[in-house]
Amino acid sequence: NNRLIGVFARLNRMCWRMKFYVGIIITAFFVFMRFAEAEQSYTVKNERFEHYDGVPETLFFADNMKVIGRQRTWNGTMKFLVDMDNEHFKISVETFHAQPGDDNFKSLPMGVQHIPLCDGFKTYFAKVAQPSFVHGENTDFPYIPEEGLCPIPKGEYYFKNLTLKTDTWPTQLPKGNIKVKMTFFKDGVNIGAGAVVMKVEDGE
């Protein structure tokens, strides 16, 4: 009888442990699903483009990119004066924030420094900007496949009535003005930069 009681006791402990672990798994699953389904708490409106010449030469131009209309869409062209590969060319991406109505931008700990250009376009540009592209309709910028594109070919590429989709962006962003600046380098020398300023507001 004592042996039988011991067996039942062990079975009871095993069942309790199984319930405990199953409970943890179920809880973790629902927490994960909650984050996965979390909606963005903000809206983004394009404010303006900024172009910066290189030193001493400029091989990337975004000087006629503009944000226009009630929908605040991208319009204009970007020019790459040479093919840009991973061997000689790199990019840096910097992010800045300013309070609503203020242009006193302060650097945020987000971005990348001097990453090989093609790798940067594959990792960041293709995931952040490319989902908004309808090739042949709102841009003719070369499509960047999953395996990447290198070099980024020389050319002048248009953007027409382009609105950024933010589905792949973080679920939280600081409210106010966000500036994202991309700087191009050839053999360590600045050859031009472009920046977009966006207004981040509470979601509707």
| Residue for token pair 């293709």 | 126
Amino acid at position 185, single letter: F
| Residue for token pair 């590429």 | 157
CA 52 vs CA 40, 59, 60, 61: distances in Å: 31, 11, 9, 8
Output the pLDDT for position 26: 40
| Residue for token pair 């009871």 | 12
Q: For residue 156, list its beta bridge partners.
A: 79
- Give the pTM: 0.74
Between CA 81 and CA 98 the distance in angstroms is 33
Tell me the mean pLDDT in the region 46-68.
90
Helix (H) / strand (E) containing 45: strand 42-52
Tokens matching residue 35: 């984050």
In the chain, what are the domain boundaries?
1-38, 42-202
Provide the pairing of β-strand 189-202 with 66-68.
unpaired
Output the pLDDT for position 19: 46
In tens, the pLDDT along 147-163 reads 999 999 999 999 998 88
Query: What fold characterizes domain 42-202?
Result: Ganglioside M2 Activator Protein; Chain: A, (2.70.220)
If you write DSSP's letter for every residue of 66-132 in order, what string do you get? Answer: EEETTTTEEEEEEEESS-B-TTTEEEEEEEEEE-TT----EEEEEEEEEEEHHHHIIIIIHHHTGGG
Q: For 121, phi and psi rounded to 5 degrees?
A: -65, -40
- The model's confidence at residue 170, banded by pLDDT at 50, 70 and 90, is low
Tokens matching residue 180: 């994202």
